[in-house]
Structure 1
Amino acid sequence: MLDPEVPDLAQVLDALGASLLRPVTPLPDRPVPVSGVLIHERRGVAPPGQDTILLAVGADPGEAKDLLHSAAGYSALVVKSFGEPLTELSDAARDAGVVLLAADEAVPWHHLEAMLSSALAPAVRTPGAPAAGDLFALANAIAGMVGGATTIEDPHRRILAYSTLPGQPIDDGRRQGILGLQVPEVPVFYDDQYRELARTRQTCRFPSLPGGLPRLGVAVRAGSEMLGSIWVVDADDSLDETAEQALFNAAEIAALHLLAARTAVDVVRRRRADLLQRLLADPSSVTAVAPQLGLDPDAPVAVAAFTVADPEDVLAAHAATRLADLVSLHCEAHYGRHGCALIDGTVYALLPKGPHGELVADIARRAHGALRMPVQAGLGATVPGLRSIASSRADADLVLRTLAEQRTSPEACRVAAIEEVWAGATLSVLAQILAGDASLPRRLGPAVRAHDVEHGTTYAPTILAYLDTNGDIAAASARLSVHPNTIRYRLSRAEEIFGFDLADPDERLVLWLRLRLGDQLGW
């Protein structure tokens, strides 16, 4: 997050996003302070500037290389390559001790300078709430300039601000969105509109949907990154090309506001994530952490855990970050100030008010719809206060592990509370105990499976089907699609070969556990 005292270059780049500026040379291990932004005009002399970012406006790589000789003391030099190699310039930047950054070629220099200045502005770096009033004022200005009720949204279709000018008609879709600060889910229609908006850099005109009014829409971008969108209701279908151009021009102004709002929100969100991570790792820190999270340390609380269940590690890692944003947004909308953190691929959220089940399920469904990937969520038991939070987190983790271990086919969205999966959770814990205790005899379960592999027999699935059906030969035969006499013969032979007694209840229980948990134990 941006330090309010000494902003660091890495923090500034993180706030702006990788699509706007990318490092060509590695960032130093030490902090690189940034105090401001300077523009170098072509054929001019580089202005003096300690700890500033220098924009090499109009300079090609060769000219920028000469510029580096007078750029000592700068935090970074920003260039546009336009497809030219930057190898020599990169080497020169390393020798000069200046970080070399490449800007998105589609972003005008004045726009880039304004966004950098916005990211460095003291008001933005204040670790408080974002200046949402600026966005509402902007929405009113756009509504007056373009001629229709206006909403400003983030990339997750969350409504950040809306106009309030009198006399401008709105429809039910806008009204519902304002009430929930979230665009209503009408996938068939809205998804097509957002895809069209993402494909073009011009103002889009959209016809009315069932029960709605026509709209103009435009994407708000910082380079190739989409920061959000602006929507204007065209109630009388009378907004002309002048209105379209006005909305397009407003998008560039809105980019600065959205960047400022996003930066301020990220400062607060990351700080709260750090605090929650500390609390989950060390519940004894509750006295220091709880006031900063705005939570009562003695109020009931539960931990919810969310994961993206995907076999592709790279995709899952990227989706986990997006999942953290989605969970955080929904929890903020429901609870206001709260704690949410991404830890080792799992998103944890504190839920201070109950009941929680419906909210967790709703977040998981919405996350699945946005990510188009399987999402699992586990809800821990409610504990009497933050000092017992480790117990609720352990419950949530156990639910996720239980869902992952269930043998049923994977579903798009799976949600459970610890009370709903207590049996599977118990087996999961027993599997860990069995796997970790070397003193327990391991002969029987592995021996049956090994015999099946070596001789092509099916004793393990036969015994397991028999035990799963409580000793019902007919039910076991139906499950395996074999004759009941075949089941009886296999069971009799298994007792002879492996030396167990199915009439003994203790042996039946242990045998069932070993065969049932064989996959989890690696047997």
Structure 2
Amino acid sequence: MDTRTLGELLDTLGEPALRLLTAPAGLTTPVTEVLLYDAHAPFPDRAPGALLLAVGVRADAAAALVDEAAAARMAGLVVRGGDGPSSGQGPSSGRGPSPGQGPSSGHLLASEQGPPSPQGLADAADRARERGLALLTVDEDAAWHHVHLLLAGAVGARPSPAGGAALGDLFSLAGAVATAVGGATVIEDPRQRILAHSTIPGQPVDEPRRQGILGRQVPGSPENTEQYRVLFASQGPVRLPALSAEELPRLAVAVRAGGETLGSLWVVDDGTLAPDAEEALAQGASTAALLLLRARAAQELSRHMTGDLLRRLLDGTAEPATAAERLGLAPGTPVRVAAFALEGAAAGAPDGEQAALRLLDLVRLQCEARYGRHACVLVDGVVYALLPGAYGRAGERQRRLAEDIVRRAGQALRVPVRAGLGDVVPEVAEVRGSREDADLVLRVLGPEETVAAMEEVRARAVLLRLSELLGERRELAAGAWRDIMAYDAGHGTDYARTLVCWLDAGCDMARAARLLAVHPNTCRYRLRQARAQLGIDLDDPDERLVLWLQLRTLAGLRGANA
């Protein structure tokens, strides 16, 4: 069996998702399974290599559980906790927790218990060290079901982009079911996509099954829809009649786990199925449920890992060459960052965080449909996606993709969504710059705009950044513009607006007068008075440029809006 070691588990999930307090047996300790602690169920006598999640047990009350886990020869115990023991002693393995790390998934449900005390964690770590048991912690706000999903996925299979190991096992299962039942078998997901099929020689197949396998999708029809309704309403295998002259009947069963429908198994019934075909198919469904859950866990783990990798790329802490390889990007592949965000008040609404998570799912789904394995991540309420090959036609397709996502998200979430596309960068090493571009695009989008690329709004973006730069530096924020604004405020004049309109109009007096809705002579008079009263030199092109930038960016005036 291809087991994972404790060290591999930590390398796979990493901090802050999982922190190690102590590992007295070392990081090569094998981890064979992940168990959830149940205070109302008998504790296992032996569970060598198991990692136990201490559900409902505070770290400072975990001494008895440490003893029981050690006696059962478990590999380790996972508790809720902070950044590590207060004693300052790191784990005996040499790998310690990282103080100050925030939650790995801020959207996870909060614990029903308060945080354990630092001394309680230190005492638990000492007890585990004495008993030779590894002790790990997860974040206070991590939901146990999510922790179990990630750990089970990491332990149960080497992670692959879409649960490849588990889906490979589904093909083996389809063959085993076909042999036991006596008919050609397919395994489907709830959306009627074919995940695996049998290839037993001599078993008859009909044309609809053949076409479904070729297209990886069951052809839709009202008759098909009715059969699925009957199937999913049944608690066991059902026999379904042929829908056409070229089709054979079917024996089918829904695949469920914990009340959730995960998919279905279908067997072609040519009249020669085994006498115990229904019982064998029901057993196959139980195994399929485990494999589908395992595939989901592996997919969730893969998404978690690629999302974390993208997060580190965006903040500049990931090694670019390694990150590109892990994301499946060839060296020198041009990329750009797309940013999606809920608009205005929707982001700050009470359910804004949940809406942002749904937006993440929608962006990921649309990107995976076009690019396959894909990196998306939610950071501070903004969903970022890394889009490869962004020049020429690819750039146009990405613009259409962003528009499609914004439209679909607005309909699904019932809140406005906006998107910004950063500049194309020639390689992954420059992704951080494209992310900054995308953020800037979101900030300068107009009230009627929902999607834009940096090249479309560059002038606005430059002015915004200039306004921030000018406002931060005393020497750049000083100048005649302040005197003009103060004079207008004290004397009831309109020199600042007049100057901005004149400069926006390219120093054309007639156009400036139209912007101000006054006679050109009035505009001309105001400019003469501004020169005389404030001593500004409008004949100097440098002074005109600086005055225009300061009035536009710092005073926020604009001729088009005057």
TM range (shorter): 0.5 to 0.7
Match in the other structure for 2:443 = 404
Which stretch shows the higher mean deviation, 262-271 or 510-519?
262-271
Tell me the equivalent position of 2:460: 424
Deviation (angstroms), 1:286? 4.6
Q: Quote the Cα distance in structure 2 between the aligned partners of 1:72 and 1:49.
A: 8
**Which residue in the other structure is 1:36 paired with?**
33
Task: Tell me by how many angstroms 1:401 deviates.
Answer: 0.9
State the 1:351 CA deviation: 0.9
1:415 counterpart residue number: 452
User: Contact (CA 8 Å) 2:471, 2:477: kept in 1 or not?
Assistant: no
The match for 2:502 among 456, 460, 466 is 466
SS at match of 1:470: coil
Q: Structure 1 119/398 Cα, relative in aligned 2: closer, same or farther at 3 Å?
A: closer
Q: Tell me the residue number matched to 2:86.
A: none
Aligned ranges for residues 297-376 of structure 1 at < 5 Å?
A: 297=331, 299-311=332-344, 312=347, 323-336=359-372, 345=382, 347-352=384-389, 354=391, 355-368=393-406, 369-370=408-409, 372=413, 373-376=416-419
Length-normalised TM-score, structure 2: 0.54
Q: CA deviation at 1:409?
A: 1.2
Q: 1:20-69 CA distances to partner (integer Å, 9 max, x unpaired)?
A: xxxxxx99763799653568796856635567466999x9x9xx999859
Query: What residue identity is the alignment partner of 2:451?
Result: R
Alpha-carbon separation, structure 1, partners of 2:284 and 2:549:
65
Q: Residue 239 of structure 1 aligns with which residue? A: none
Counterpart in the other structure of 2:302: 268
- Which of 504, 515, 518 lines up with 2:554 in the alignment? 518
Distance 1:305 1:447, change over 3 A: farther
User: Structure 2 CA distance, aligned partners of 1:158 and 1:295?
Assistant: 31
Larger radius of gyration: 2
Residue 421 of structure 1: CA displacement?
Answer: 3.1
1:407-448 CA distances to partner (integer Å, 9 max, x unpaired)?
x3153x3121x4333333433443354345444362233444
Q: Is 2:143 the partner of 1:152?
A: no
Aligned-partner SS, 2:452 = strand
Say yes or no: does 1:5 pair with 2:5. yes
Report how far residue 343 of structure 1 moved: 5.6
Q: 1:206-250 CA distances to partner (integer Å, 9 max, x unpaired)?
A: xxxxxxxxxx9x997878xx8x875999xxxxxxxxxxxxx9999
Which residue of 2 is the match for residue 394 of structure 1?
Answer: 433
Q: 2:329 aligns with which of 283, 295, 300?
A: 295
Instruction: Identify the residue that residue 424 of structure 2 maps to in structure 1.
Output: 381
Q: Which runs of 5+ in 1 are unaligned?
A: 15-25, 79-84, 102-106, 185-192, 204-215, 234-246
Deviations, residues 249-283 of structure 1 (Å, cap 9, x unaligned): 99987764443223222333444445555666669
Matched residues in 2 for 1:13 and 1:290: separation? 19
Contact 1:331–1:338 (CA under 8 A) maintained in structure 2: yes
1:442 paired to 2:478: yes
AA matched with 1:509: L
> What is the DSSP-based 3-state SS (H/G/I as helix, E as strand, rest coil) of the residue aligned with 2:478?
coil
Question: Is the contact between residue 448 and residue 460 of structure 1 (CA under 8 Å) also seen in structure 2?
Answer: yes
Asked whether the equivalents of residues 303 and 350 of structure 1 are also in contact (C-alpha less than 8 Å), the reply is yes
Q: Structure 2 CA distance, aligned partners of 1:358 and 1:456?
A: 50
Q: Aligned partners of 2:287 and 2:491: how far apart in 1?
A: 74
Give distance in 2, aligned partners of 1:100 and 1:274.
19
Counterpart residue identity of residue 260, structure 1: R
User: What letter is aligned with 1:367?
Assistant: I
CA RMSD of aligned residues (A): 6.3
Structure 1 residue 377 displacement after superposition? 2.2
User: What CA deviation, in whole Å up to 9, does each residue of 1:474-513 have, x standing for no partner?
Assistant: 5555555566666555545444443324454333322221
Q: Conserved in 1, the CA contact under 8 Å of 2:159 and 2:302?
A: no
Answering whether residue 156 of structure 2 is matched by residue 122 of structure 1, we say yes
1:259 to 293, 297, 308: 293
Q: Is the 8 A contact 1:377 1:415 kept in 2?
A: yes
SS at match of 1:380: coil
Aligned residues: 433
In structure 2, how many angstroms separate the alpha carbons of the residues matched to 1:306 and 1:248? 46
CA 404–137 in structure 1, closer or farther in 2 if over 3 Å, else same: farther
Paired residue secondary structure (2:157):
helix
Shift of 1:454: 6.2
User: Is 1:124–1:130's contact at 8 Å kept on the other side of the alignment?
Assistant: no
Give the conservation status (yes or no) of the 8 Å contact 2:310–2:375. Answer: yes
Contact 2:51-2:77 at 8 Å conserved across structures: yes
The answer for the alignment partner of 1:47 in structure 2 is 45
Tell me: CA distance 1:121–1:309, structure 2 relative to 1, closer, same or farther (3 Å). Answer: closer
TM-score of the superposed pair, with normalisation by structure 1: 0.57
Change (3 A) 1:432 1:70: closer
Question: Relative to 1, partners in 2 of residues 1:152 and 1:495: Cα closer, same or farther, differing over 3 Å?
Answer: farther
Q: Is the 8 A contact 1:332 1:338 kept in 2?
A: yes
Q: Given residue 403 of structure 2, which amino acid in structure 1 is its aligned partner?
A: R
8 Å Cα contact 2:422-2:438 kept in structure 1: yes
Shift of 1:360: 2.2
Which residue of structure 1 lines up, in the alignment, with residue 101 of structure 2?
A: none
Letter in 2 for 1:378: L
Aligned residues of 2:154 and 2:301 also touching (Cα < 8 A): no
Name the CA shift for 1:466/1:402 in 2 (closer, same or farther; >3 Å): farther
| Compared CA separation, residues 222 and 47, structure 1 to 2 (3 A) | same
Q: Return closer, same or farther for 1:49/1:399 CA change in 2, 3 Å cut-off.
A: closer
The CA deviation at 1:301 is 0.9
Instruction: Identify unmatched segments of 5+ residues in structure 2.
Output: 24-28, 80-110, 128-134, 139-143, 199-203, 235-251, 267-280, 558-562
